[in-house]
Chains A and B, each alone.
Chain A
């Protein structure tokens, strides 16, 4: 029999909430974390609004030593470490300082890039012939696995310590990789999650693609509009989400709080064939990813109570809904509830999958479906497919039992997880 895998700890640094209590309050009450960004305006971006977690110097010094903060310039590692340690403590796990590491625990913490601001700083120094003056931490801050390396050291992890990367599917994929490793008995617990740097040097490429929201620079909180008829591109975001994924036996033995169970999931790729490309998803692959996730989880499509979509607020939102209707064989008023956290956080890119999964898990644990903001004018292509009531505008307090979470990324990659309210 397969090992059952559960979630026992959560931690988050999101644009609309740092720490689980603040984030939970924000998503229940439709609080947006999108702000005007002076740097983006100065650099003449078409989109001058963004989502960044608000981290005070005081909070920084709770998680990093004075020495670590010397020359530290990596927002991705900052967000990931704060979220990761919050999740670890939230799971009731302690930070030991023994001679041996904790062989049973590891981390799979994804990232798109690392320390892009540190990289920029270093490139300037190198070009000024100052390579010998870079200091000792450039590698640790700019290697893609920087975030998992920092976490592994702070927590003394002795199992697998790695960073995965699959564009905007990174966070969702990390959770599934942790699930696989625990299910196969190779680890008792994995700190899974993902992080994403903030700033113009990470977001510039998207602005250049003209896929970002540029019409709401004066009304930032209205700028991220998934599923809306007036959606005109995504708002760039950043942050990190972290989850302690654990073997059920170990969780019970420790008497840990169990937030939800992972029933299963699937990752695949459309191979950039059919209507898929580097930047667009192959619909057949998306549908197959969802269908395979159901099969892997041994549930039927009718058991899904809610969907936490990818839904970025580009023209692809309607196509995503269509793919869900086809994969589940459900439409109109038979369609599950659906929401997109991006309306409040923007698109947190490599961090999106983990931050949004946490929102989905909180819904199962506390019994609600958070309301979408900025889509009171639902896109007509969406209302042609599903009942508008399935896209709640305000938080509804019901007890969902099973939620499907999907993320899709550049490179035509897909990931879908099925979360279930935990029952013994």
Chain B
């Protein structure tokens, strides 16, 4: 899967959890979930569950803890997909 495609899918997942639409519209790899998108930290748990379901992968707790921005999320998803 291409990176752009992956980010597009990630955007669909993230959308309901963000309250900052401007930052969401201008989302890049450097976008931070909490600081830029104003996502409630508790909702990161839900985002991980949604990612697992969409990509049919399992994300370990250690990966989850560092998954705080788009770049890291993409890296983790790519690694998990390549392991399949």
Q: How far is the CB of A67 from chain B (nearest CB, A)?
A: 5
Contact B45 A67 (CB under 8 A): no
A 56-70 binary contact with B (CB < 8 Å = 1; else 0) = 000000000011001
Q: How far is the CA of A132 from the CA of B61 in the complex (A)?
A: 10
Closest to B40 in A: A136
Q: How far is the CB of A60 from chain B (nearest CB, A)?
A: 16
Question: What number of residue pairs across chains A and B have CB atoms under 8 A from each other?
Answer: 16
Closest to B53 in A: A133
Q: Is B43's CB within 8 Å of the partner chain A?
A: yes
A 133-162 binary contact with B (CB < 8 Å = 1; else 0) = 101110000000000000000000000000
Q: Is B6's CB within 8 Å of the partner chain A?
A: no
With beta carbons under 8 angstroms apart, the residue of A67, A136, A137 that contacts B16 is: A67
Contact A66 B46 (CB under 8 A): no
Q: How far is the CB of A28 from chain B (nearest CB, A)?
A: 43
Residues of A contacting B42 in the complex (Cβ-Cβ under 8 angstroms) = 136-137
Q: How far is the CA of A135 from the CA of B46 in the complex (A)?
A: 5
Interface SS of chain B: helix
Residues of B contacting A70 in the complex (Cβ-Cβ under 8 angstroms) = 16, 46
Contact B17 A67 (CB under 8 A): yes
Q: Is B49's CB within 8 Å of the partner chain A?
A: yes
Q: How far is the CB of A129 from chain B (nearest CB, A)?
A: 13
Q: How far is the CA of A67 from the CA of B49 in the complex (A)?
A: 15
Q: How far is the CA of A83 from the CA of B7 in the complex (A)?
A: 41
Residues of B contacting A133 in the complex (Cβ-Cβ under 8 angstroms) = 49
Question: How many residues in A have their beta carbons less than 8 Å from beta carbons of B?
Answer: 8
Q: How far is the CA of A136 from the CA of B43 in the complex (A)?
A: 6
Residues of B contacting A67 in the complex (Cβ-Cβ under 8 angstroms) = 16-17, 43
Residues of B contacting A135 in the complex (Cβ-Cβ under 8 angstroms) = 45-46, 49
Q: How far is the CA of A157 from the CA of B46 in the complex (A)?
A: 27
Q: How far is the CA of A66 from the CA of B15 in the complex (A)?
A: 11
Residues of A contacting B16 in the complex (Cβ-Cβ under 8 angstroms) = 66-67, 70
Residues of B contacting A132 in the complex (Cβ-Cβ under 8 angstroms) = 61
Q: How far is the CB of A142 from chain B (nearest CB, A)?
A: 15
B 48-60 binary contact with A (CB < 8 Å = 1; else 0) = 0100000000000
Residues of B contacting A66 in the complex (Cβ-Cβ under 8 angstroms) = 16
Q: How far is the CB of A149 from chain B (nearest CB, A)?
A: 13
Closest to A139 in B: B42
Q: How far is the CA of A70 from the CA of B45 in the complex (A)?
A: 13
Q: Which of B42-84 contact A (CB under 8 A)?
A: 42-43, 45-46, 49, 61
Residue of A66, A70, A136 with highest tally of chain B CB at under 10 A: A136
A 66-109 binary contact with B (CB < 8 Å = 1; else 0) = 11001000000000000000000000000000000000000000
A residues contacting B by CB (< 8 A) are 66-67, 70, 132-133, 135-137
Seed contacts A135-B45, A135-B49; 14 additional CB < 8 Å A-B pairs? A66-B16, A67-B16, A67-B17, A67-B43, A70-B16, A70-B46, A132-B61, A133-B49, A135-B46, A136-B42, A136-B43, A136-B45, A136-B46, A137-B42
Q: List 16 A-B contacts (CB under 8 A).
A: A66-B16, A67-B16, A67-B17, A67-B43, A70-B16, A70-B46, A132-B61, A133-B49, A135-B45, A135-B46, A135-B49, A136-B42, A136-B43, A136-B45, A136-B46, A137-B42
9 closest cross-chain pairs (CB), A and B: A136-B42, A136-B45, A136-B46, A67-B16, A135-B46, A136-B43, A133-B49, A66-B16, A67-B17
